[in-house]
Amino acid sequence: MTFRAKLFWVFTLALLLSVGLVAAGVTVATRRAFDDLNREHSDALVAQFQREFDRRGEEVVDRVKAIASEEATIHMAVDLSLPKGDASVYVYDARGVSQSHQLDFLDFVNSDGTIISSAEWPAHFNSKMNWVIQPEDWASTGSFLTKMDTQDGPTLGLMAVTQVPVADKAIYIVGGERLDKGFLSSLVLPPGMRALLYLNLDQGFQANDLVSAGTPENEPERFTSLIEKEQASPQPRTEKIQWTFDPASAEEIHALPLVGRQKELLGVLLVGNSLRNVVLLERRIRYLALIVAGIGLLLGALLSWWAAARVTRPVTKLVTAAQEVAEGNWSAHVDVRGRDEVGRLARSFNQMTHQLIEQRERLIQAERVAAWREVARRLAHELKNPLFPLQTTVENMQRAKDKNPELFDEVFRESTRILLTEIENLKSIVGRFSDFSKMPQPEFAAVNVNDVVRDVVKLFEAQLGAVGRPPITPELHLDEELPAIQADATMLHRAMENLVLNAMDAMPAGGVLMLRTAHKDGTVLVEVSDTGGGLTPEESERIFTPYYTTKQHGTGLGLAIVQAVVSDHGGRISVESESGVGTSFHIELPSHPPRRPQKFPMLLKQEEEA
């Protein structure tokens, strides 16, 4: 991943994180605000329902009191207070009275708790309603909830009781409204709210006991948990029910326990408040926030990309320049302006490359001087040996002519022979230097390195086993799968000759000359090893320096030529030596030679001048 990409992702993630945090904060705050608003709304509605419930209870009390004050009721009370009072004549009176007073329940109960007449269950006459005659001040009790028996089974009633005393007896008027579908329908509830009633008539949750004002509840079992909690511990509580996978179907259910006079749980009023509008509003806000966040992120990404590009452009230039430097182009220059860190870095880079070039050129100059010195030294050394016999011969000739003229001819012949020999020797020395200076450019063609190795070994076979010389045993370990490489066979042959000659010189007492070839990843490996005396570490470091030699009569150009040939083929040569064990030269040759390396301008200039 590029620096620009990293920078882009860092900017983008930072932006995403910021936007996400802000969005989350806004969402949480919005939701809390909506929850608070919804709770206040629900509380207000529940309170409104409670007031409505209380008002209905007061109405029931008023109606029952009205019945008690009617003349017919008083007449009934008086009649039944008489010793021969006949209750049977009133058995069907309750229904008519209840209808005229719009009551669902109406029971006339005698002073012994016997039902005289029942509106909700006419056949229930003569049965006992003992709770009515329990000592209680019905005048102050007001309305209350109780379980009422009807022909269709028990149900809940919002009831009131009034006593009509006559002498030492009394009859009781028990009237009320049924808490059922009709009662729920008559409640005035705002849009989005609904009321359900659970009649706690059986143990556990019974779906049939759930009454709704409209159509029967489709999934009554969803209330099971709430109802069971109320049955376990009656108290107002709220739960949210999501009816479908759509969160907009959620409904907040407020459960209000309906208890009787003995605080027993008789029913649970379930006030449902649809959260559809709130959820839709929240969803709209969320969508809007997402769109804004998305646009913000998109813009942020674009800005991040632009900023990353702007920030990394000088760095990219620096990277490109550094790569050029790595490839050898030390003249690479970074054109970056600015006073910031990157600008200073670019300027430092330019300064550094400039200094590197100068140092390199100085180094090369120094090396060149050192090389010329070495050349001069070697030349002086090489030339001094033949010059001394020349000088001596010429002095002998002068002395012979001055002091022994009779021997002059013989001295002259002998001296001229020596002079010619030494002059020939001088020409040979000059020729070797000339050959080294005239190293040709390689001409590449497909070459099998094994063939080159075999030819060289064949060339030296006679010398290796020459009579009077300690034998040197050649060992060849050639990789027959060796691929052909692009190389100059003649130059390779010359390099191998030098290595073999070097090895032979290193083994004056004989030994083993081992040549090994191998290949790896398209690169051909050649190893030339001897079992000679080895090199010191210092020798190993300088052994490829031109005109450096460890031999008495060496020119110091053999291994320099080897290194030059290997280098011209884009390869690499290294030496591995251990004193007393031997020396190994490792050559790596690529399958294809590289481009011709770029020369430094100063060197080119000097070469041109040369």
Partner 1 sequence: MSRRLAANSLLLALALVLAVLPAKTARRPGYGGTLRIEIGAVIHSLDLSVAAVSPEEAAAKLEIDSLINDRSGAPAAQPAAGPFRISAWEPGKRLTLAANGDFPKGRPFVDAIDFTMGKSAKDRLLDLELDKTDFIRIPADQARSAAESGVRVNTSQPDELLAILFATGGSNAPSSPVRQAIAQALDRGAIVNFVLQKTGEPAGGLLPQWSSGTAFLFSASSAPAGAVQQVKEIRAQNQPSIRLLLGYDSGDSVEQRVAERIVVDAREAGIAMTAGPIQGTSALGAATVPPGFDARIIRWRMPSPRPDAALANFLAAFPGLAQAAADACGPANSAERIYRCERAIVDTREIIPLAFLPQVYGLSARMRDWQAPGPGETWPLADVWLDGAPQ
Residue 530 is encoded by which pair of tokens?
């001897």
Least separation in angstroms between CB 110 and partner 1: 13
Kindly state the smallest distance separating residue 24's Cβ from partner 1, in Å: 58
Q: Which residues fall within 8 angstroms of residue 189, CB to CB, at 6 or more apart?
A: 45, 49, 195, 271
Q: At closest approach, how far in Å is the CB of 216 from partner 1?
A: 21
Output the smallest distance, CB 115 to partner 1, in A: 10
Task: Report the length, in residues, of the chain.
Answer: 610
Nearest of 430, 416, 415, 417 to residue 383 by alpha carbon: 430
Of the pair 80, 492, the CB lying nearest partner 1 is at 80
Closer residue to partner 1 (CB): 86 or 578: 86
What is the closest distance, in whole angstroms, from the C-beta atom of residue 87 to partner 1 in the complex? Answer: 8
* Token pair 């509580």 in the structure block, residue: 237
Does residue 506 touch partner 1 according to CB under 8 A? no
User: According to the binding rule CB under 8 A, does residue 122 interact with partner 1?
Assistant: yes
CB of 91 to partner 1, least distance (A): 5
CB of 151 to partner 1, least distance (A): 7
C-alpha closest to that of 474 among 506, 503, 517, 508: 503
CB of 79 vs partner 1, minimal distance in Å: 13
Please, is 171 exposed, middle or buried when counting C-beta atoms within 10 Å of its C-beta (0-12, 13-18, 19+)?
buried
Nearer to partner 1 by Cβ, of 116 and 268: the residue is 116
Instruction: Give the residue with the Cβ less far from partner 1, 125 or 144.
Output: 125
Task: Reduce the DSSP state of residue 267 to 3 states and report it.
Answer: strand
Q: Rounded to the nearest whole angstrom, what is the least distance from the CB of residue 256 to partner 1 in the complex? A: 31
* Binding residue (CB under 8 A) for partner 1 from 125, 330, 460, 548: 125
Cβ nearer to partner 1, comparing 121 with 585: 121
Q: Does 171 bind partner 1 (CB under 8 A)?
A: no
Using the contact rule CB under 8 A, the part of the chain among 125-133, 324-332, 407-415, 572-580 near partner 1 is 125-133
Extract the runs of DSSP E, i.e. beta strands, from 367-495. Answer: 445-447, 472-477, 485-487
CB of 114 to partner 1, least distance (A): 10
Taking the least distance from each CB to partner 1, the nearer of 106 and 514 is 106
Going by their DSSP bridges, the two strands 511-520 and 472-477 should be labelled as parallel
Cα–Cα distance between 156 and 266 in angstroms, integer? 7
Would you say 2 or 99 has its CB closer to partner 1?
A: 99
* Residue 59, C-beta contacts closer than 8 angstroms, at least 6 positions apart: none
Binding window for partner 1 (CB under 8 A); candidates: 115-123, 173-181, 316-324, 551-559: 115-123
Residue 126 within binding range of partner 1, rule CB under 8 A: yes
Q: Is 206 in the site for partner 1 (CB under 8 A)?
A: no
According to DSSP, the β-strands at 153-166 and 144-150 are antiparallel
Interaction between residue 97 and partner 1 (CB under 8 A): no
Smallest distance from partner 1 to CB 120, Å: 12
481, 519 contact by CB (below 8 A): yes
Lay out the sheet containing 193-199: strands in order across: 210-212, 193-199, 265-274, 250-259, 237-242
Nearer to partner 1, 86 or 461 (CB): 86
- Residue 53 or 121: the one with the smaller Cβ distance to partner 1 is 121
Interface with partner 1 in residues 562-601 (CB under 8 A): none
Closer residue to partner 1 (CB): 125 or 548: 125
Q: Which residues of 257-273 are buried (b: 16+ CB within 10 A; e: fewer)?
A: bbbbeeeebbbbbbbbb
- CB of 126: closest distance to partner 1 in angstroms? 5
Decide if residue 123 touches partner 1 (CB under 8 A).
Answer: yes
Closest CB to partner 1 among residues 118, 583:
118
Count CB neighbours of 490 within 10 A. Answer: 14
Q: Which is nearer to partner 1, 48 or 126 (CB)?
A: 126
Nearer to partner 1, 122 or 474 (CB): 122
The reply on whether position 130 binds partner 1 by CB under 8 A is no
Residue 382 φ then ψ, to 5°: -70, -40
Sequence letter at residue 557: L
By C-beta, is 92 or 388 nearer to partner 1? Answer: 92
Task: Kindly tell me which residue out of 151, 185, 359, 398 binds partner 1, with binding defined by CB under 8 A.
Answer: 151
Give the count of residues interacting with partner 1 (CB under 8 A): 12
Please tell me the distance from the alpha carbon of residue 74 to that of residue 455, in angstroms, as a whole number: 147
Only one of the segments 49-57, 120-128, 264-272, 411-419 lies at the binding site for partner 1 (rule: CB under 8 A); that segment is 120-128
Does residue 515 contact residue 476 with C-beta atoms inside 8 Å?
yes
Residue 143 vs residues 70, 132, 206, 259: alpha-carbon distances, Å = 20, 13, 27, 12
Contacts of residue 574, defined as CB under 8 A and 6 or more positions apart, other chains included, come to 585, 586
| Alpha helical stretches, state H, 258-339 | 276-327
Least distance in angstroms from the C-beta of 159 to partner 1: 20
Q: Does 127 contact partner 1 by CB under 8 A?
A: yes
Residues with Cβ within 8 Å of 549's Cβ and at least 6 positions away in sequence, in order, are 555, 556, 558
Residue 150 interacts with partner 1 (CB under 8 A): yes or no = no
CB of 121 to partner 1, least distance (A): 7
Q: For residues 24 and 89, which CB has a smaller minimum distance to partner 1 in the complex? A: 89
Would you state the structure tokens that stand for residue 218, as one six-digit string? 């489709």
How far apart CA 54 and CA 142 sit, in angstroms, is: 10
**Shortest Cβ 68–partner 1 spacing (Å):** 23
- Report the alpha-carbon angle 355-359-364, nearest 5: 150
Amino acid 101 reads H
Q: Is 119 exposed, middle or buried (0-12, 13-18, 19+ CB in 10 A)?
A: buried
- Taking the complex as a whole, how short is the minimal distance between the CB of residue 88 and partner 1, in angstroms? 5
124 binds partner 1 (CB under 8 A): yes
Of 75, 64, 206, 74, the residue nearest 142 (C-alpha): 64
Span near partner 1 by CB under 8 A; candidates 94-102, 122-130, 247-255, 327-335 = 122-130
Site for partner 1 in 73-92 (CB under 8 A): 87-89, 91
Which CB, 87 or 255, lies closer to partner 1?
A: 87
Q: Are 532 and 583 in contact (CB under 8 A)?
A: yes
How far, rounded to the nearest angstrom, does the alpha carbon of residue 298 sit from its chain's CA centroid?
20
Given the rule CB under 8 A, which residues bind partner 1?
Answer: 87-89, 91, 121-127, 151
